[in-house]
Amino acid sequence: MAQEGLSMRKIREILRLHYELGLLQKEIARSCGISQPTVHRYLERAQAAGLTWPLPEDWDDRRLNELLFPRPTRTSSLAAASQESERSVSAGCRAPIDFAVLHHELQTHKHLTLRLLWEEYLQNHPDGYRYSQFCELYRQWRRKLDVVLRQDHRAGEKMFVDWAGDSVAIYDRNTGDARPASLFVAVLGASSYTFALATLSQALPQWIACHVQALEFFQGAPQLVIPDNAKTAVTRACRYDPDLNRTYLEFAQHYHIAVMPARPYKPRDKAKVEAGVLLAERWLLAVLRHEKFFSLTDLNQALAPLLERLNQRPFRKREGSRASVYTSLDRPALQPLPVERYVIAEWMKARVNIDYHIEVDRHYYSVPYQLTGEQVEARSTSTTVEIFYQAKRVASHIRSYVPYHYTTLNEHRPKSHQAHLEWTPSRLIHWGESVGPATAQVIRTILESKPHPEQGYRACLGIFRLGETYTPARLEAACQRAIPAQACSYPSLKSILQQGLDQQPRVVAEAERTGPQHENLRGPAYYDSPSRLVH
């Protein structure tokens, strides 16, 4: 974890937006939901550490953290503190006030007062402003809140996206039941060139798929995408520090664009798409109000010509249309699309179980056993599942949709588990045959006596260990004695070898097999004797 509060993922995003996209620091701050001085500070640290982009693939979060935040020595820390103190005294300025945070606190907490906020401010900055000046500065700042900023959009810079409020009914041909279809709208900033697509859900896969088709419709990628704070875009909505959905962030990285969510409850931040949604509802959905659709394909086919007509409609107060301005301004300025289309991948966090597996969609995938108990991230597509620990990939599997089954790589197991699983019934029997036929027979008997052969592995491996302690000849002799006595088990063989019974003459063993002989035993021939009939 970064020492100054930001997650390593957000620091990586700052570096990407600066080095790869060349965004200004204020644009990076808006995209990442942090202040511009914070962006400046992290970029200074990156420059001092000599970082380049892209970062080496083998760099995990810990390596990046050590480079950006090296541990200072005591001497250097004291010197830095002394220099900072001298600068503060020479400057003679008072600690600044973060009015945005101040205003947010007042709006969030019902009983909070400026007096209490000023006292808290004074605790952290004893040489700060007095109460009257503190209040006056806040009032001056607040008067500027309602001033509307005229947004000037550069060619190819921004794409605004949102869902329309109205929906269209899709009917089932058999039952007649209606299902609402949502309308996704994307608008380019400079030309207002508009894209619209109907989907049956506003979930993450449909959200990303609509973005991909919008970029292909525009034939290029802008520098910035401006969504609202929906869950499909932002996992934690916050005016100052929103966290982007991991899949959405990966989509942006694939197309070399930055995502700058609008502030919560601030529709002016995305006024372009608000107007685009209104036009789509008026010139697309209203026109189709009398139509009845039985499939999503039919609906999108009906939307296509209406969308083209909307983009071709002449502006009322200036020359041209959305299509003509797009052709002259936005289209040449857009970035070229990557050769490969983005394949949606879903991210999830999971903790490695004691059996060194994690669960993804009711299936279990292995990771290196050293990560047992650690929290990892799983990236799953329709074909693969990749597992990451501290931004470094530690496992990759082919996606399986069989519920409650295991996909395990042998190298992820401990050495002891690997050695155990290397033995199979056929291999155990083959080893027994290499010792002798009696040993092979004992192995077969043990495996066949269990409901599952795996339950006899431990006993067979115990016999294998006896073969390492005693000579093959002694082990074979012990098995020859155990078979007629029906003592085919590891404890019996171990006892025979320890007591040296395998070295006794074969006659003794034969006597044990047939049992004691005396005159009171009738024997099998008794029942074949004619004398038995007399009785």
Give the pLDDT of residue 428: 81
Q: What are the structure tokens assigned to 379, written together?
A: 């990236």
pLDDT tens, 119-141?
888 888 888 888 888 888 888 88
Give 63's contacts (C-beta < 8 A, 6+ positions apart).
none
Give the angle 365-368-369 at the CA atoms, nearest 5°.
100
**CA-to-CA distance for 506 and 481, rounded, in angstroms?**
9
**CA-to-CA distance for 455 and 428, rounded, in angstroms?**
13
Q: What's the length of the chain?
A: 535
Q: What are the structure tokens assigned to 469, written together?
A: 């302690």
Give the pLDDT of residue 455: 60
Give the pLDDT of residue 464: 82
Write down the pTM of the prediction: 0.53
Coil, strand or helix: which one is 175?
A: coil
Give the pLDDT of residue 84: 44
Give the pLDDT of residue 108: 58
DSSP 414-482: -HHHHHHHT--HHHHHHHHHHH-HHHHHHHHHHHHTSSSGGGGHHHHHHHHHHHHHS-HHHHHHHHHHH
428 to 237, 346, 418, 465, 481: CA distances (angstroms): 60, 44, 16, 12, 20
DSSP-derived pairing of the beta strands 224-226 and 258-259: parallel
Quickly tell me which residue has 């200072």 as its tokens.
72
Compute the chain's Rg from CA coordinates: 38
Give the pLDDT of residue 351: 92
- On the 0-12 / 13-18 / 19+ scale of CB atoms within 10 A, 1 is exposed
- On the 0-12 / 13-18 / 19+ scale of CB atoms within 10 A, 501 is middle
Closest CA to 228 of 163, 166, 279: 163
Number of helices followed by number of strands (H, E) in the chain: 21, 15
Coil, strand or helix: which one is 387?
A: strand
Residues of the chain where predicted confidence (pLDDT) is lower than 50: 1, 3, 74-75, 77-82, 84-92, 146-151, 236-242, 508-513, 526-527, 529, 531-535
Q: Where are the alpha helices (DSSP H) in 109-203?
A: 114-124, 131-143
Give the pLDDT of residue 93: 56
pLDDT tens, 359-386?
988 899 999 988 988 999 998 888 889 9
Neighbours of 374 (CB within 10 A): 14
Give the pLDDT of residue 273: 61
